[in-house]
Amino acid sequence: MDNSEQDVTGLLVAWSQGDKDALDRLAPLVYDELRRIAHRYMKREAAGHTLQTTALVNEAYLKLAGQPITDLESRKHFFAIAARVMRQLLVDHARTRRSAKRGGGARPASLDETGALTLEQAAGLLAQNAPTLTPERAADLVALDEALFELETRSHEKSRVVELHHFLGLTFDEVAEVMGLSSRTVKRHWESAKAWLHHAISKGTPHEA
Amino acid sequence: MKPERWDEVDQILQSVLERAPAEREAYLLEVCAGDEQLRREVLTVLASHEQAGSFMASPAFQGSGDIFDDEPKLKQGDLIGLYRITKPIGRGGMGEVYLAEHTAQSREVALKILPQHFLDDGQRVQRFRQEARAVLALNHPNVVTVYDIGESEGIHFISTEFVEGQTLRERMTSVRLTIEEAVDIALQVASALAYAHEKGVIHRDVKPENIMLRPDGYVKVLDFGIAKLTEGKARSGTNDPNEAPTRVKASTTPGMVMGTVHYMSPEQARGLKVDERTDTWSLGCVLYEMLTGRQPFDGETPSDVIATILKHDPAPLTSLLPDTPAELEHIVSKALDKSKDERYQTAKDFLADLRRFKRHYEREADIERSTPPGERAQIAAGVSTGGQQASPTNTGESATSTAVTAHTTSSAEYIVSEFKRHRTGILLTIAALVVVAALGFGVYKFFSRGAADKTVAARDVKITPLPINGILANAGWSSAAISPDGKYVVYVLVTHNEKGEDVESMWEMYRPTGDAKQILPPSKDSYGGLAFADDGDYVYYWDGSDERHQVSLYKISVIGGVPKKLIDNIKRANFAPSPDGKQVALLRYDENGGGSLLVANEDGTGERLLVKREGIKDWIDGSPTWSPDGKSIACFAGTYEGGVHHTLLIVNVAEGTQKEVGTAKWYGAAYVLWLHDGSGLLVAVDDYRTAPTQVWYVSYPDGAARRVTNDLNNYFFTSATADSKTVLAVQEKHPLDIWVTPVGGNSGQAKQVTFTRGDGRNGVAWTPDGRIVFDTVGNSNLWVMKADGTDRRQITSGTDNNFMPSVSPDGRFVAFISLRGGSPHVWRIDMDGSNLKQLTFGPSEESRPSITPDGKWVIFSSFRSTGKLTPWKVSTDGGEPVQLSDKQLQCGNASPDGKLIVCADSSQTQGKWKILLLPIEGGEPVKVIEPPDRFFGFPGWTADGSAITLLHNGGGADNFWKLPLDGSPPKSLTNFTDSSLQSTIFNYAFSPDGKMLTFTRSNSTSDLVLISDFK
């Protein structure tokens, strides 16, 4: 790829060197790819299986760059981006859900004149019974996102750990690997981040503690 | 907490957390070494950790199981700001699109939910808002109108015109487009781009997913919403990172899929600054794909695609499509030149080449097919969509093409639009308009609240657009009809001849195939009154010129042939052929108000008067309609007694006896149509002064009335199918918004400042400090805003209709018309919404109040005491009103020196209208001015009082002009030339210093629709 600015690897490098726009350029691509792959996984896997996050992210990279992640730097950056994207995706979702509650939510299904549920209503009821994000949980997620935003100004590393572990679902070992830290350090960051975040959400912003 | 302190606390926190819970307190005490403050800070956060419980115990996506579902996140009934979700209509990786309804305006919109992260930094929100303003100002038939860009509880959204149809992507996956179709679509997209580029907006993401094809052949380009405003002309070659994030914008489009990179220009792919030429590239890609079915640049991964874009030329068109005309091949390769300097430099150039090609291509095709030239061009798009594609209950915005001058019955706008329609000199061409003027200036909400509550709109009514390619003729003369068997639709189209004059032609569409053929060639005459008799073999119509006010009645066979003249040169009237086709009903307005219903033989002989209602207080109105058995005729009886209102009148043809049907009363009445099955009648009526003309169903003989449509459009109709299930109607939209321009300004300087499509319906006014007071549509209230449209604040409240504002010279209060007392009277209110006071009383109707420069009087027009509209004044403190003249006049405002009042005299039924200047004390006019041809609108004053201001239509655009009182030639005050501004201007006001002008403009559009399931 002679135009290194354009391909995914190039963008990763640009981003790691502080080019904010590179992330902007990458994020939508990653976002869409993750969503598609994840959706496919969800359909394929029986309920209850957790997502094989690393596999998913690796696959997304493969699709985007046309080659597997080989060097460590790219891997590191790409996972960070995937985690960021996942966070955005989940929080966007939560925000919409939360507002749905305030808007009065779905209308109750009503029987038509023949006394039968229409297909659409039946589908609606089924969907409602699926494990979906409740408005309460959605509100929590939005609050967490805001607290995490604050935490990021204090410790970039901590917020990365939270994104990778909590939003992307990597194990601590995997987080350690992609961040190039020891597992112990990751765990330490995680525990204190959890304390700061919970404190911020229940009391105020972290730095006002 | 300082960063160092935070780090210190965190360090300790981390080490504490590594210890077993039981050891933590002791450890903390030790490590803090007497720093009690530090210990407490750590302890607080530590406590949070201990209370955290299940907080973040499982990954965030667990419990968000639906995140990867394709289930839409919002459901029917959810509210986002003022929008109520109807249903999801699409989604992409980056956002969802819903059909939604504006809760206050019952307008259907497409609501796009933007991903949060797109806007999560303040700088970008700022940039986005800047761009939004430019996008909101776009107004072009091929650009999807953006209504609103907003945010509600953290959700950012864009509401746009809802377009029925399919995307070009959908079309291409189902059918292979012909060369004609591909070129036609590319033409319309190029037209949209050329317009947007002129306005400084680059699309940046032209692709088949963003191109909507409407069933009527119109192409609409979506998602200018994410285009970035270009600052002036391109500063070439800069690689400023702030200019570069083109891919961000392109990629963040809702609907973004991996394929999006396929349409990126080389400079866009390189992350360089882009300009108009990036859009012409993308359109070139789209055209290539339409023609060949293949994308010009492809690859396994986005990176590969980008490499191809940068390095390789696409396969020649002829290798994939051997018959490609050389000219088209040239056009495509020019659009896809990798060097942007060699590419089409503007979308306009691209457009011109496409047009030229289309002409040549069609001429050749026409010769081959031995069909007369010219026709195909007009019907191509209509035919290509193949008949009507049902799109259920589209009552929303599916506007066609550019402005057709509005016909609105029973309102002041009627006069304005009639002025404009009859551009040749104009005035109220027929006596009817005296009546209409009376209605327009009278204001009354007659029907009781109780009656209104009962009239719920039919829930299942279906309104389906009928694909017509072109601009419909003025709906006011019923320019379309459906045959009784429902197979034919005949309609009148307006086009332009070589001189740029309006010409009308008549067309017939055979609905089963969608084929349209011209049955009458373009002519400067007007055609109207289209109707079928029951056998459906003939179409009846008028042919007449505006100048003569005389028309001839013709009929023409639906199979074609020579029209047969039935009645020669009679005074224009509304008419209807009897079911057996042997007689016609004629409804004629009389010179002095009033009107007559007559019947005559088909050839005009044996004319017989059935009903005559005389004088200014009683009249007869509407398009007459025959009962199925031919024994009765229905029309409207109008009266001023007890406030302007209309009732449905049934007249027995043999005996001439008349009876009113039902108790429903409407403020304005336009059309009535007796259904063939005799079950009832459909009427097109206005509820009250500020209401649109809507469809009601009146069952027969009991007369129970029920509203059928419930939107902000106007409807007009004259025909239904024999099974009484389907009515053909003209659906007319005239969204109104407020614009501001410096006096002397050109099209580029005129700025649209409101975007609700319902502002300034009956009036706009300036405050001394440069703000604008205006009214709204529907249940109108008065509002005030800054001249740039910001800081919008409501002055009046309630649902009683408050409109026609005039601001006092000191800016302290507003005089206006309100229905809060039942009938329309002059009221005043302080600018802050306090001190509401009624100024006029009694059984009367007032309109157009205007405060004099000394702030002591309110001038207004009123029906009081005489029953005709005359000028009056009342003290701003209230008291007994004083009549200024007993002449029938519509009065405007007082001159800046407060000595004269400008009035319009349109009582003459023939000849020209006049402007009269009355002394403020009342009495005889001191000056009478006859405006030259092509002048129209409400007269006002220039700031120095030396001239009268008016509107003038010429050169394809409306402009403000002044007529100097010293008799020197008229001078233009604005230089609008842009054809997109070729639309109807309703209300206007000059700022007190005379430097600024605000006006209400409507881009009216008319569509043919089929209304069904209304019973």
A68-101 residue pLDDT tens: 776 777 777 788 888 887 787 778 777 776 655 4
| Gap between the Cα atoms of A175 and A170, Å rounded | 6
Q: Rounded to whole angstroms, what are the CA distances from B56 to A91, A159, B49, B63, B549? A: 14, 13, 11, 12, 81
Q: One-letter amino acid identity for B545?
A: S
| Gap between the Cα atoms of B407 and B984, Å rounded | 10
Picking from B499, B479, B509, the residue whose alpha carbon sits closest to that of residue B385 is: B509
Here the contacts of B677-680 (C-beta below 8 Å, separation 24 or greater) are: B677/B628, B677/B723, B677/B724, B678/B627, B678/B628, B678/B629, B679/B724, B679/B1015, B680/B1015
Q: Please report which residue ranges of B385-466 form alpha helices under DSSP H.
A: 412-421, 432-441, 449-454
Token look-up 């959605």 returns A138
Mean pLDDT of chain A: 67
Contact B213, B219 (CB under 8 A): yes
pLDDT tens for B473-489 read: 655 556 889 999 888 89
pTM metric for this prediction: 0.45
Answer whether B45 sits within 8 Å of A29, measured CB to CB: no
Asked whether residue B1004 carries a pLDDT value surpassing 80, the answer given is no
Structure tokens at B619: 């009249």
Please pick, among B184, B205, B353, B737, the residue that the annotation labels catalytic: B205
Calculate how close chain B gets to A92, using CA atoms only, in Å.
6
Which residue on chain A is closest to B268 by alpha carbon? A6
Structure tokens at B127: 């940039």
Which residue on chain A is closest to B242 by alpha carbon? A21
pLDDT of residue A132: 53
pLDDT tens for B646-683 read: 899 999 999 989 998 888 888 888 889 999 998 999 99
Indicate the burial class of B154 (C-beta count within 10 angstroms; 0-12, 13-18, 19 or more): middle
Q: Which of B301, B312, B338 to mutate to test the interface with A (most CBs of A within 10 A)?
A: B301
pLDDT of residue B473: 67
Is B205 assigned a catalytic role?
A: yes
Task: Give residue A52's pLDDT band: very low, low, confident or very high (50, 70, 90).
Answer: low
Task: Give residue B443's pLDDT band: very low, low, confident or very high (50, 70, 90).
Answer: very low
| Gap between the Cα atoms of A134 and A137, Å rounded | 5
| Gap between the Cα atoms of B862 and B860, Å rounded | 6
| Gap between the Cα atoms of B602 and B581, Å rounded | 7
Integer-rounded Cα radius of gyration of chain A: 20
Structure tokens at B64: 């968000």
Calculate how close chain A gets to B84, using CA atoms only, in Å.
9
Calculated CA dihedral for residues A29, A31, A32, A33, nearest 10 degrees: 80
Highest mean pLDDT among A43-57, B371-385, B679-693: B679-693
Answer whether A63 sits within 8 Å of B258, measured CB to CB: yes
Asked whether residue B394 carries a pLDDT value surpassing 50, the answer given is no
Report yes or no: B239 at the A interface, CB cutoff 8 Å. no
- Section B722-746 average pLDDT: 85
Picking from B195, B108, B198, the residue whose alpha carbon sits closest to that of residue B160 is: B108
Q: Any residues with CB less than 8 A from the CB of B64 and at least 6 apart, and which? A: A90, A93, A94, A132, A133, A137, A141
Answer whether B270 sits within 8 Å of A5, measured CB to CB: yes
Token look-up 């009383």 returns B841
Least confident of A57-61, B618-622, B716-720: A57-61
Here the contacts of A107-110 (C-beta below 8 Å, separation 24 or greater) are: A107/B75, A107/B76, A107/B77
pLDDT tens for B781-831 read: 899 999 988 888 889 987 778 899 999 999 999 999 988 877 789 999 999
pLDDT tens for B924-947 read: 999 999 888 778 888 999 999 999
pLDDT higher at B174 or B796? B796
Helix axes B432-441, B412-421, angle to 10 degrees: 140
Picking from B889, B888, B891, B887, the residue whose alpha carbon sits closest to that of residue B902 is: B891
pLDDT of residue B237: 32
Picking from B654, B652, B693, the residue whose alpha carbon sits closest to that of residue B672 is: B693
Residues in a beta bridge with B503 = B495
Contact B665, B647 (CB under 8 A): yes
Structure tokens at B356: 């030229």
Phi and psi torsions of B210, nearest 5°: -100, 10
- Section B122-142 average pLDDT: 68
B67: DSSP letter: G
Report yes or no: B6 at the A interface, CB cutoff 8 Å. yes
Mean pLDDT of chain B: 77
Asked whether residue B881 carries a pLDDT value surpassing 60, the answer given is yes
Highest mean pLDDT among A162-176, B142-156, B763-777: B763-777
Contact B667, B689 (CB under 8 A): yes
Report yes or no: B274 at the A interface, CB cutoff 8 Å. no
pLDDT tens for B510-523 read: 887 777 788 888 88
Calculated CA dihedral for residues B397, B400, B401, B405, nearest 10 degrees: -90
Set of chain B residues whose Cβ sits within 8 Å of the Cβ of A206: 6
- Section B409-430 average pLDDT: 28
> Residue B830 in 3-state DSSP?
strand
pLDDT of residue B284: 96
Q: Please report which residue ranges of B52-109 form alpha helices under DSSP H.
A: none
Set of chain B residues whose Cβ sits within 8 Å of the Cβ of A38: 68
Asked whether residue A48 carries a pLDDT value surpassing 50, the answer given is no
Asked whether residue B690 carries a pLDDT value surpassing 70, the answer given is no
Picking from B283, B302, B281, B299, the residue whose alpha carbon sits closest to that of residue B291 is: B283
Asked whether residue A46 carries a pLDDT value surpassing 50, the answer given is no
Answer whether B154 sits within 8 Å of A95, measured CB to CB: yes
| Gap between the Cα atoms of B291 and A95, Å rounded | 43
Q: Which of B116, B121, B312 to mutate to test the interface with A (most CBs of A within 10 A)?
A: B116
Asked whether residue B687 carries a pLDDT value surpassing 60, the answer given is yes
pLDDT tens for A9-32 read: 666 666 656 665 666 666 666 776
| Gap between the Cα atoms of B734 and B760, Å rounded | 12
Q: Which of B7, B54, B75 to mutate to test the interface with A (most CBs of A within 10 A)?
A: B75
In B307-346, the residues whose Cβ lies within 8 Å of chain A are 307, 310
Asked whether residue B419 carries a pLDDT value surpassing 70, the answer given is no
Q: Any residues with CB less than 8 A from the CB of B548 and at least 6 apart, and which? A: none
- Section B106-127 average pLDDT: 65
pLDDT tens for B190-245 read: 999 998 888 888 888 899 988 999 887 889 998 775 544 222 222 223 333 333 32
Calculate how close chain A gets to B241, using CA atoms only, in Å.
8
| Gap between the Cα atoms of A21 and B367, Å rounded | 56
DSSP letter string over B754-797?
--SSBEEEEEEEE-TTSEEEEEESSS---EEEETTS-S-EE-S-
Set of chain A residues whose Cβ sits within 8 Å of the Cβ of B153: 95, 98-99, 102
Set of chain B residues whose Cβ sits within 8 Å of the Cβ of A155: 10
Asked whether residue B843 carries a pLDDT value surpassing 60, the answer given is yes
Answer whether A166 sits within 8 Å of B154, measured CB to CB: no
Integer-rounded Cα radius of gyration of chain B: 32
Beta-carbon contacts below 8 Å between A and B: 237
Picking from B726, B730, B710, the residue whose alpha carbon sits closest to that of residue B1014 is: B726
Q: Rounded to whole angstroms, what are the CA distances from A173 to A58, A179, B1001? A: 16, 10, 65
B849-867 residues labelled b (16+ CB within 10 A) or e (exposed): bbbbbeeebbbbbbbbeee
Structure tokens at A12: 């990763």
Task: Give residue B93's pLDDT band: very low, low, confident or very high (50, 70, 90).
Answer: very low
| Gap between the Cα atoms of A193 and A164, Å rounded | 13
| Gap between the Cα atoms of B68 and A33, Å rounded | 12
- Interface ipTM > 0.85: no
